[in-house]
């Protein structure tokens, strides 16, 4: 992975075999970024996507492997008790036999096959934290 911070925005090139979420978090730690949004595209070899099942109060995980075009990645980073936490959604295009398919959802992790290009936009002038919702047992943005 390589990156540059230009005018407060970090531009990352994530390389083959690297975990996209892990590298985003590493840059946020190194650059002391407690809250940010991010987006990106790329070519991946594996993805773990999740869908929240409200009735169960838990996520269901679906794994996909192969040549996965990361056509959209959007997410955010918050800091809770000194720990950086990500919330990301992604969409992947891929082939299954002769059929073109799409898969998307909450992104738990993804591994780069060729490259991924990510932009991290730090929150300026404050920090965003997490507020837990007792009904869904998930977190939402909380503002100071």
pLDDT in tens, 82-97: 899 999 999 999 999 9
Q: Are 25 and 79 in contact (CB under 8 A)?
A: no
Percent of residues, the chain, with pLDDT higher than 90: 76
Whole-model pTM: value is: 0.92
Mean pLDDT of 18-40: 97
pLDDT at 81 over 90: no
> Would the pLDDT of 59 be above 90?
no
Report the mean per-residue pLDDT for the chain. Answer: 93
Distance CA 63, CA 65 (A): 7
Q: What is the pLDDT of residue 143?
A: 76
- The predicted pLDDT at position 103 comes to 97
d(CA 36, CA 77): 5
Band of pLDDT at residue 144, cut at 50, 70 and 90 = low
Q: What is the pLDDT of residue 137?
A: 66
pLDDT, tens only, 133-142: 777 667 778 7
**Options 3.40.50.920, 3.60.15.10, 3.30.70.1520, 3.30.1330.80; CATH of 2-143:** 3.30.1330.80
Instruction: Tell me the domain boundaries of the chain.
Output: 2-143
Distance CA 79, CA 83 (A): 5
Paired residues of 101 in beta bridges:
94
């Amino acid at each position: 992975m390589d990156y540059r911070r230009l005018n407060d925005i970090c531009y990352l090139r994530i390389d083959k075999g690297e975990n996209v979420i892990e590298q985003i978090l590493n840059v946020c730690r190194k650059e002391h970024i407690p809250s940010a949004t991010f987006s990106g595209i790329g070519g991946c070899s594996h993805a773990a996507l999740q869908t929240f099942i409200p009735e169960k109060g838990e996520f269901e995980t679906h794994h996909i492997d192969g040549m996965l075009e990361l056509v959209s990645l959007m997410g955010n980073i918050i800091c809770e008790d000194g720990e950086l936490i990500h919330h990301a959604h992604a969409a992947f295009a891929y082939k299954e036999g002769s059929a073109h398919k799409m898969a998307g959802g909450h992104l738990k992790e993804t591994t780069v096959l060729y490259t991924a290009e990510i932009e991290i936009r730090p929150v300026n002038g404050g920090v965003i934290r997490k507020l837990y919702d007792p009904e869904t047992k998930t977190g939402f943005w909380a503002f100071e």
